[in-house]
Amino acid sequence: MATVGIFGGSGLYQLLTGAVEERWIETPYGPPSDKVVLGELGGRPVAFLPRHGRGHTIPPHKINYRANLWVMKSLGVDAVIGPCAVGSLQKHIEPGHVVLCDQFVDRTSGREDTFYEGPIVTHVSAAEPYCPILRAHALGVCQRRGMAVHGTGTMVVVNGPRFSTKAESRWYTQMGWDIIGMTQYPEAYLARELELPYINISLVTDYDAGLVSEGAEAVTHEAVLEVFAANIENLRGLLAELVETLPETSASPAKTALTGARLA
């Protein structure tokens, strides 16, 4: 069993310490992205699952988000951490900064995004999709570590795998949204459906395409990986301290997400 679940990607596969066990877990929703890796981080038992699969072989629109979240729920975790790489839509949010999302805007399509397909109709509120307890804790850890951090932010989630056109990116910027990514929906919302407190930690790797005309270069996959690699040790250290000092989450709004949500 594990107390904390972490989804991650490139550079985080060797995150855990101590005796490490790999386990394949079947789910009612099909296969997860990969085997879950069980070990320790910050002195706590942790489950790590590479959301794109080991070797980064699964594009964001093909990830089986329901299976991945079911794996974490089946392991009994009390909190889920979802670090990811994102692009900035605002000039003051610079590459290398960390954004702790409190909102998302879904611009994806065709993704399996609920566990509740009937016959009991269930409407889970997504008004505040991220756990405020975990976000406040992460903000304090980032500040203690001297990291450039934004304590709130809205991520627009696009389907991928393509990056945005300049027109799309400028529209997102004009809407006032802060960052852009491809994996927070439905991952964050599915965690809420399972009453799992969830936090996003977004590492900004680039300026998105709409800022090209103001001096920034258009995003490329190579550039994203370069900035991510340069900051991976900071992210590992942040995750270790975050897990080691994780607060009690029993009062998280996620724990009562299903209260009053079912029409039965």
Q: Is the peptide bond before 132 cis (omega within 30 degrees of 0)?
A: no
Catalytic pick among 34, 106, 178, 208: 208
Res 253 pLDDT > 50: yes
Total number of domains in the chain? 1
What pLDDT was estimated at residue 144? 96
Q: What are phi and psi of 46, to 5 degrees?
A: -130, 145
The domain of 178 spans 4-263
Q: What are phi and psi of 224, to 5 degrees?
A: -60, -50
Asked if residue 107 lies in contact with residue 158, where contact means CB atoms within 8 angstroms, the answer is yes
Q: How confident is the model over 85-98, as a mean pLDDT?
A: 94
What pLDDT was estimated at residue 28? 97
Active site residue 206: yes
What pLDDT was estimated at residue 213? 47
Write the CATH number for 223: 3.40.50.1580
Asked if residue 78 lies in contact with residue 4, where contact means CB atoms within 8 angstroms, the answer is yes
Question: Could you read off the pLDDT of 194-236 as tens digits, one per residue?
Answer: 999 999 999 998 899 877 546 556 656 666 666 666 677 788 8
Res 94 pLDDT > 90: yes
Active site residue 208: yes
Alpha helices in 99-150 (DSSP H): 132-144
Buried residues in 96-105 as b, exposed as e (16+ CB within 10 A): ebbbbbbbbe
- 113 contacts: CB under 8 Å, gap ≥ 6: 65, 185, 186, 189, 190
- 78 contacts: CB under 8 Å, gap ≥ 6: 3, 4, 197, 249
Q: What amino acid occupies position 145?
A: R
Question: Could you read off the pLDDT of 119-160 as tens digits, one per residue?
Answer: 989 999 999 999 999 999 999 999 999 999 999 999 999 999
198 vs 10: which has the higher pLDDT: 198
Question: Across the chain, what does the average pLDDT equal?
Answer: 91
